[in-house]
Amino acid sequence: MARLIFPNAEDRLVYTIESASDFRPKVGAKVRIYTDAAGTLLANILTTAGVAIANAELTVDGNSLLPLFQGPDGGATNIDTLYAKGVGGTTVTTIYANVDSRLDIVSASIDGVITGSGFVTQTQRTADLALNTNNLAFKIDADDWANTHARSVYDLPSAEDVPVMTWAAGQTSAIATPVTYKPAIVGTGVAVTGWDGETTPTEPVFRFFPGLFRTLNGGSGDLALVGDTKPGGATQAAKWPLVFSFNTDAANSIVEFSFFGGSPAQVHVEVNGRFVHKRTQRSSVTGSAVLLTLTFPFAKVRTIRVWGDGSLGLIAVRIPTGQTLTKPAAPTRRVAVVGDSFVNGAGAGFEAAPNDGTNNRESFAPQLGRMLGAGDMLLAGIGGTGFVAGMDGATPNPYSTRSAFITSKTPQVLIVNGSINDGTATGTIQAAVEAFLANHTAVSEIYVLGTMLSGYNANNEAVKAGTLAAGRTFIDVGGIFTGTGNVISQAGNGNRDVLLRSDNSHPTFGGHEFIARTAFALIARARGIV
C-alpha cells in the first residue's frame, strides 16, 4: 500500500503554552516521529519528494508548522496514525495522516467514496482530481484557509480604531455639554420588564443582541437597562447579555458610557467588527455607578459594539455637542447558540491564569459565531441544562424550553452542544435530541456539537444518532478534551492539563478558544468549504 502524507492540517501547528491563553510558536524546534504511543520506535518516514529522513527528525518551519512528510509503508495496512515528540522532551502527541491522503487510498480501492454531499463514484472523483478541486495541494490550502480565518476573529482593530479606555466613578459626565442617548425604556418614569430591545417602544439608536431586557434602580425603577432572565434561567440567574451597538458620525472621537451595577463593571469593546482586547476588561474603580470613556486617535465614522453581562446596567451613552449617533443596519445573519455552561460561561472570567473561567461573552459560543459570520447572536446558554437535564426550581428546563423564544427571533444558523449534564442515558438523549431539532425545522443551517469531555462517549454517540435521524449536521467534537488532569493537577496524559479548569468540568479561556477553532474547522469541512 502507498505511504500516506502526514500530518493533517490541525496537527501541524507546534507551540508552547505560557499560560492558558498564551500560545508561543516554536520555529526551528526539532521533533521526532514514532510509530508507538510511548514514543520509543522511530518511524521510517520520507520527505514528500521521497528522500529518507534521518532519525525521523523534523524541523519546525518559519510558520511554526511541522513540514509535510510521507509516513511509513504499512504493507497491506495503511498507517494513518503516528506520534510526535520534541527532541529532549517527554510529551508524546498523536498526529494523523492528511485527510485527503487517506481518502485517496480509499478511493483507489473501492468504486466510490463518501463525501460531504453524498456518494461519489470513482469516475467522478478522478474528474474532480483532474480539475484540482480535491487534490492534496488544494486540501492543504483550504485547511490553512480555515485555520487562518478562525484566527482572524482575534485580530485587533487598526491603530486608528483602538481607543484609550478610561474608567471613573460616579455618573457626572466629563464632557462639557454632552448629547445624551438612552435606551428607549430608560428614564421614562416607569419600570419595564420583558422588552425585546426593538419594539414597543421602538429603539431609535441602539441595536441590541436578541434577548429580553428590563429596567431597574432609581426612584421609578427606570435608571438603567439590564438583561432579563432567560426562559427557565431563574435558578441559575441566567440573564440575557447586554450587547449593543451604534454608529458614530465623522466628527466623533470621544464616547462616554454611564453604567450602573455589575460591580466591578466588565465590558468587551468591539470597533468596526474587531475586539479592542482579547479578553473582557474590568473597571479600575469601585462602586455601582461608573463611567467608561473611549478616546480615539482622531475623529471618523465607526461602528462600536459593547458586550456586557446581564447584570451590567446601561444608563446612557454620551458624545460631545453637535455630534450624533445612529442605529446600525439590521444584521442579515443571526446565529443562535443553545447550550449549558459551556455556552453561558463558568467562572467570573477574570480569575488568574491558568485556572481562569469565562463569561458568556468569552465562551466558545460567541467566538464560533463570529467565525461563522454572525451579524448578531442569540446566546441561549443556561448552566446545568442539556437536551434532557435541567431544573428551574421544580420545573424542568432542558434546551427545548428555549425553543419558542429562539424560533421567534428567526435565526439563520443554530448551534447546540451535547452536554455532560445529560449523563449517559443514551435512548433518552437520542429521543430528546430529535424532539429538540423538530422544533427548529425552519432553520436551514443547524450544527449539533458532540459532548466534549472524555468519558462521555455513549452520550456523544446518542447525540450523534439523534442528529442524523433528524437529518441535521453532527460536528463530532466528542472527547476533544483528553486525559484525566486539569490545569492545577496535571496528569501528563492529555490536553486537559492545559485546557480544563480545576473543577474537571469546564474549559479555561484557552479551552474555549480550542473548542471554537476545532468546531469551525469541522463545520467548514462539513459544508464543503475545505
Q: How far is CA 53 from CA 27, 73, 81, 218, in A?
A: 19, 14, 18, 73
Give the chain's domains with CATH numbers. Answer: 1-97 (no CATH), 98-152 (no CATH), 159-326 (2.60.120.260), 334-526 (3.40.50.1110)
Q: What is the pLDDT of residues 104-116, one digit of tens each?
A: 443 333 332 223 3
Q: Which of 262, 268, 460, 281 is nearest to 367 (CA)?
A: 268
Can you tell me which residue has the cell 480565518?
A: 149
Q: Are strands 413-417 and 445-449 parallel, antiparallel or unpaired?
A: parallel
Q: What is the DSSP string of 424-490?
A: T-HHHHHHHHHHHHHTTTT-SEEEEE---BTT-HHHHHHHHHHHHHTT-EEE--TT-B-SS--SSS-
Distance CA 135, CA 126 (A): 10
Q: Residue 63: which H helix or E strand, with range? A: none
The string over 255-268, giving b where at least 16 C-beta atoms fall within 10 Å of a residue's C-beta and e elsewhere, is bbbbbbbbbebbbb
The grid cell for 340 is 449549558
pLDDT at 144: 58
Low-confidence ranges of the chain (pLDDT < 50): 17-24, 101-142
Q: How many CA atoms lie within 13 A of 226 on its CB side?
A: 23
pLDDT at 4: 87
Distance CA 321, CA 176 (A): 8
Asked if 239 and 226 count as a contact pair (C-beta separation under 8 A), the reply is yes
Asked if 107 and 113 count as a contact pair (C-beta separation under 8 A), the reply is yes
Distance CA 302, CA 308 (A): 19
Rounded CA Rg of the chain: 25
pLDDT at 9: 66
Distance CA 517, CA 521 (A): 6
Asked if 316 and 181 count as a contact pair (C-beta separation under 8 A), the reply is yes
Distance CA 249, CA 336 (A): 30
Asked if 457 and 428 count as a contact pair (C-beta separation under 8 A), the reply is no
Phi and psi for 493 in degrees, rounded to 5? -130, 20
pTM: 0.74
Classify 143 as helix, strand or coil: helix
Q: Interior CA angle at 402 toward 223 and 191, to 5°?
A: 15
Q: Tell me how crowded residue 131 is: count the other CB atoms within 10 A of its CB.
A: 10
pLDDT at 80: 81
pLDDT at 15: 61
As to burial, measured by CB atoms within 10 angstroms (0-12 exposed, 13-18 middle, 19+ buried), residue 111 is exposed
The grid cell for 315 is 444608563
* Residues in Cβ contact with 329 at an 8 Å cutoff, skipping those fewer than 6 apart: none
